[in-house]
Amino acid sequence: MTRPYDIATRHRAAGRIARAPDGAMAAGQADLTGTAPLLRVEGLTKRYGTRIGCADVGFDLWPGEVMGIVGESGSGKSTLLNCLAGHLPPDSGQVLFDTRTGGLKDTVTMSEPERRMLGRTDWAFVHQHARDGLRMNVSAGGNVGERLMAVGARHYGTIREAAIDWLGRVEIGADRVDDRPTAFSGGMQQRLQIARNLVTGPRLVFMDEPTGGLDVSVQARLLDLLRGLVREMGLSAIIVTHDLAVVRLLADRLMVMKDGHVVESGLTDQVLDDPQHAYTQLLVSSVLQV
Amino acid sequence: MTDQAYNFAYLDEQTKRMIRRAILKGVAIPGYQVPFASREMPMPYGWGTGGVQVSAATLTPEDTFKVIDQGADDTTNAVSIRKFFERTAGVATTEETARATVIQTRHRIPEEPLTEEQVLVYQVPIPEPLRFLEPSEIETRKMHALEEYGLMHVKLYEDIARHGQIATSYAYPVKVEGRYVMDPSPIPKFDNPKMSDNPAIQLFGAGREQRIYALPPYTQVVSLDFEDHPFDPSKADAPCDLCGAEDSYLDEVIIDDAGGRMFVCSDTDYCRARRASGHVGAKGVAEDAA
Ligand SMILES: Nc1ncnc2c1ncn2[C@@H]1O[C@H](COP(=O)(O)OP(=O)(O)O)[C@@H](O)[C@H]1O
Ligand SMILES: [Mg+2]
Contacts of A18 (CB under 8 A, 6+ apart): A253, A265, A266, A267, A270
Q: Whose Cα sits closest to atom 7 in ligand 1?
A: A48
Best residue among A44, A73, A75, A79 to mutate for probing ligand 1's pocket (most ligand atoms within 8 Å of CB) is: A79
Q: Whose Cα sits closest to atom 6 in ligand 1?
A: A48
**pLDDT digits over A104-125, tens only?**
999 999 999 999 999 989 999 9
Enter the DSSP assignment of B100. Answer: -
Closest-CA distance, A110 to chain B, in angstroms, reads: 14
Helix or strand (DSSP H, E) at B41: none
The residues of B that are catalytic are 31, 240, 243, 265, 271
Tell me, what's the ipTM? 0.87
Closest-CA distance, A132 to chain B, in angstroms, reads: 13
CA of A147 to the centre of ligand 1 (A): 29
Alpha-carbon gap, residue B29 to B51, rounded angstroms: 19
**pLDDT digits over B189-203, tens only?**
999 999 999 999 999
Alpha-carbon gap, residue B200 to B114, rounded angstroms: 6
Closest-CA residue to B248 (of B222, B223, B274, B225): B274
> Closest ligand 1 atom to the C-alpha of A78?
21
Kindly identify the ligand whose nearest atom is closest to the C-alpha of A75: 1
Which residues are close to ligand 2, an ion, with C-beta < 5 A? A 78
**pLDDT digits over A149-159, tens only?**
999 999 999 99
Closest-CA distance, B139 to chain A, in angstroms, reads: 12
Alpha-carbon gap, residue A120 to A114, rounded angstroms: 10
- Using the Cβ of A135 and the Cβ atoms of chain B, whether some distance falls under 8 Å is answered with yes
Residue A47's Cβ-count burial label (10 Å; 0-12, 13-18, 19+) is middle
Cβ under 8 Å to B: A residues 174-203: 177-178
Pairing label, strands B221-223, B211-215: unpaired
Alpha-carbon gap, residue A150 to A164, rounded angstroms: 18
Nearest CB to B158 within list A142, A150, A157: A142
pTM for the full predicted model:
0.86
pLDDT tens, per residue, chain B with 290 residues: 445 677 999 999 999 999 999 999 999 999 999 999 999 888 877 789 999 999 999 999 999 999 999 999 999 999 999 999 999 999 999 999 999 999 999 999 999 999 999 999 999 999 999 998 888 999 999 999 999 999 999 999 999 999 999 999 999 999 999 999 999 999 999 999 999 999 999 999 999 999 999 999 999 999 999 999 999 998 788 999 999 999 999 999 998 889 899 999 999 999 999 999 999 999 885 444 44
Q: What rounded mean pLDDT belongs to chain A? A: 88
Contact A241, A67 (CB under 8 A): no
Q: What residue type is A192 in one-letter code?
A: L
User: Cα A26 vs. chain centroid, distance in angstroms?
Assistant: 23
Mean pLDDT of A19-42: 58
Residue B224: closest CA among chain A residues belongs to which residue? A154
Kindly identify the ligand whose nearest atom is closest to the C-alpha of A73: 1
